Amino acid sequence: MTIEVSYHETVSKLQEFAQFARGPFDRPEWYALLEQGGFHPVIVVGRSRHRIAALPLMAAGHGLTSLAYWFSFAWRPLGRDDELVDEILTAMAKDLRSHASAITLAPLPDEDGSASRLEQAFRKAGWAVFREQPDENHVLHVDGRSFAEYWASRPGPMRTTLKRKAKKVDVEILTHFDERAWAEYRIVYRNSWKPAEERADILEAFARMEGGAGRIRLGIARAEGVPVAAQFWTVENGTAYIHKLAHTEAAKPLSAGTTLSAALFEHAIDIDGVELIDFGTGSDAYKRDWVETVRPRFRLECYDWRKPRGWMRIAKAMARRLARGNSRR
């Protein structure tokens, strides 16, 4: 099978991969936001007579890394999942040895085989590959339940809190981007326990994009007209994604965050009819009260052992692996 590998410095090449998008962070529009936000893409495309595949990457130090932002839920190769595409991925990995001595790929899911397929492709292409699980992803499989059925299975203290505190705040859920509501979201976030958003411009551009497509679910909880909790969700293809949530420290006794979360879960389950609710990455303990399944997110560090620049990195990666092994003992 003849495979052609090409490199592109703009994400416009990803338009032909729109059909393979499985979620918000696979779409060409998402990658366009990153490019417009100042990221410098290196789009690697592999093409045979019957298949195409793409690795959206960007420059990072002396190597390449996934074209992603820290609130990306997942990053994966674009294309079909079959043996023909796996051959293309291996050819791309081999060709990449002439462009970089180190490549980092993350955050990789493996429930769809992405991490394992890429690990195999880069190993076959001659890279030294180190696989780690630095993060996790929390999800809820609705399994046909109504919100009432789901809520009945939640921890008792959560259900009691909602029963006692729900009437203390008013909740609004918008399915379009609204300037006033987004301004309230920013106020809540600024007065919450969360650190300042590093690239609030990218997040807002993403929210506007999702709002224009009818995918946004923007929730605001107010106490006596003052915004005290805010959440930014999106919904598509049977999945609800929880991107951002915050409540003000001053309003913590109101449990406004719990009330708003419950309202959005109810909207997603009973009105949107989703099959999955994705709480994103992170090991926050509170997520386990809301969702029931934890999925790993992997990082692949790939080094070209033929190049002197990669030797020190390989040694450091091996030392980290050895240290983790010793700590487990």
Q: Specify burial of residue 298 (Cβ count, 10 A radius: 0-12, 13-18, 19+).
A: buried
For residue 221, the surrounding DSSP H or E stretch is strand 216-223
List the beta bridge partners of residue 170: 222
In the chain, the amino acid numbered 4 is E
| ∠ CA 297-19-264, rounded to 5° | 55
Residue 310 — very low, low, confident or very high, per pLDDT cuts 50/70/90?
low
What average pLDDT does this structure show over 73-81? 96
Do 57 and 42 meet the contact criterion of CB atoms below 8 Å apart? yes
Model confidence at 143: pLDDT above 70: yes
pLDDT tens per residue across span 221-268: 999 999 999 999 999 999 999 999 999 998 889 999 999 999 999 999
Model confidence at 312: pLDDT above 80: no
pLDDT tens per residue across span 7-46: 999 999 999 999 999 999 999 999 999 999 999 999 999 9
Long-range CB contacts for residues 29-36, cutoff 8 Å, separation at least 24: 29/209, 30/206, 31/56, 31/67, 33/202, 33/205, 33/206, 33/209, 34/58, 34/67, 34/68, 34/69, 34/202, 35/10, 35/11, 36/205
Domains of the chain by start residue, with CATH: 4-135+296-328 (3.40.630), 143-274 (3.40.630.30)
Q: Reduced to 3 states, what is the DSSP secondary structure of residue 24?
A: coil
Neighbours of 47 (CB within 10 A): 19
Which pLDDT belongs to residue 193? Answer: 87
